[in-house]
Amino acid sequence: MLYFFYVVFMYSSKLICKEVLFCIKQLQFEQIEEYWTAFWQPEDDLDDEDKALGQARLSQQQLFSLCTLPQIQHWVVSLDLAFYQTLVDILVPDVLMSNMSREIIHRFVVFVIISYRRVVFPAFLTQSCRNFAKNVEHYLKKAMQGAPEIIQKKKIQAVKYMAQGLRRCSAAQAESISRKKNPNFFRYTSLNHLAQAARAVLQKPDQVTAMYNDYVRVDMQQVQEQAGWVSGCDSLMVHHIHNAFKDNLQKMAPMEEWAEWLESIVDQILAKYHDKPVQVISEVGKQFLLNWSCYTSMLIRDLTLRSAGSFGSFHLIRLLTDEYMVYLVESRIAKAANRAMITIISQVGPIVLPN
């Protein structure tokens, strides 16, 4: 009988995921609370239509009893994290990511019942996304009233990961507001927003030519001496990156080529650590981000002192590459740890499951 309850619970959980996914695709956020409430506060008696269909459904007592089992808790958390990662991916427009990044993202869709395409997220709906991120925890708490405390805590913790991920996709449009209300929003500057602005620059030959002319005047020897002393980076690799950046400007590479080039740098840095513990990969990745930031700061400093005409374009590209590098390192750590990306950079603590 327990196995039967388990099968029904799994089926019902996946069904509610499909229903919530439909709401997200249609941007009908307000209906999600209704689906969650119907799942966690079921009527004990089946109506005539359900009986006619022979539908199996758990009572609330059976549902809550199952949720006290450690194996059920493990399964629920795994499903939630995979599903919430999918929702965040849907709501983040794919304006920069290359095929390599898409493969990394798709690994998180671990249940085959869900198939989706990315939804272009119009700017005028940014507020709806932010409101959903703000209210989703309340929706779940209200729906799960009376459920065992341990499963409530774990599901609420998982949904917080999603809320932070959603804030990440909408933060740039609301930056002026979020800085005042919550300074932590600033670290979730929208990659999408930066990519759209950078793409507009890279599509204008005159601006790219101006950037190239300014870049070849940068005193890379001085940059290497100062940044290299601080970071201890391999000067040969820095030289290769410098030449590749210059070549991309000279040939006016499209956004996708820039993205793949940045990914190749991260992969090269982390390649020799692929068989190391996640903690090692994480530390190497974070040190790389610090080094990258050091070098880009030195470059911006040189351009500033030279009063480069294309300084504004370089500043934008610097913001984009810095943000994208964080995303790439985050994704590689998530892959190594076999975790959803939304759990890597988070102010929410890890979800602790019973042994």
15-66 residue pLDDT tens: 999 999 998 888 788 899 999 999 999 976 555 444 433 456 789 999 999 9
More confident residue, 96 or 137: 137
More confident residue, 232 or 123: 232
Task: Among 92-106, 145-159, 229-243, name the most confident range.
Answer: 145-159
CA-CA distances (angstroms) from residue 261 to 67, 126, 210, 240, 330? 46, 30, 21, 12, 17
Are residues 201 and 337 both part of a single domain?
Answer: yes
| Domain span at 108 | 1-171
Are residues 154 and 242 both part of a single domain?
Answer: no
Nearest to 20 by CA among 90, 104, 67, 77: 90
Cα 42 to Cα 349: distance, rounded to the nearest angstrom = 31
Q: Supply the DSSP symbol for 205.
A: H
Q: Has residue 49 been placed in a domain?
A: yes
Are residues 194 and 94 both part of a single domain?
Answer: no
Q: What is the pLDDT of residue 350?
A: 60
Q: pLDDT digit string (tens) for 322-334?
A: 988 988 998 899 9
Q: What is the pLDDT of residue 194?
A: 80
Q: pLDDT digit string (tens) for 182-214?
A: 333 333 336 767 887 888 999 999 999 999 999
Q: What are phi and psi of 190, to 5 degrees?
A: -70, 120
Q: Hunting for tokens 């410098």 — which residue is that?
A: 242
Tokens of 41: 């506060």
Q: What is the pLDDT of residue 164?
A: 80
Mean model confidence pLDDT for the chain:
80
Q: Has residue 267 been placed in a domain?
A: yes
Average pLDDT over residues 135-161: 94
Cα 20 to Cα 210: distance, rounded to the nearest angstrom = 48
Q: Percentage of residues in the chain with pLDDT exceeding 90?
A: 50
Nearest to 80 by CA among 119, 117, 111, 115: 111
Cα 58 to Cα 158: distance, rounded to the nearest angstrom = 23
Last residue of a domain, one of 129, 148, 171: 171
Q: What is the pLDDT of residue 2?
A: 79
In this model, does residue 271 exceed pLDDT 50?
Answer: yes
Are residues 155 and 213 both part of a single domain?
Answer: no
* Radius of gyration in angstroms for the set of CA atoms belonging to the chain, rounded to a whole number: 24
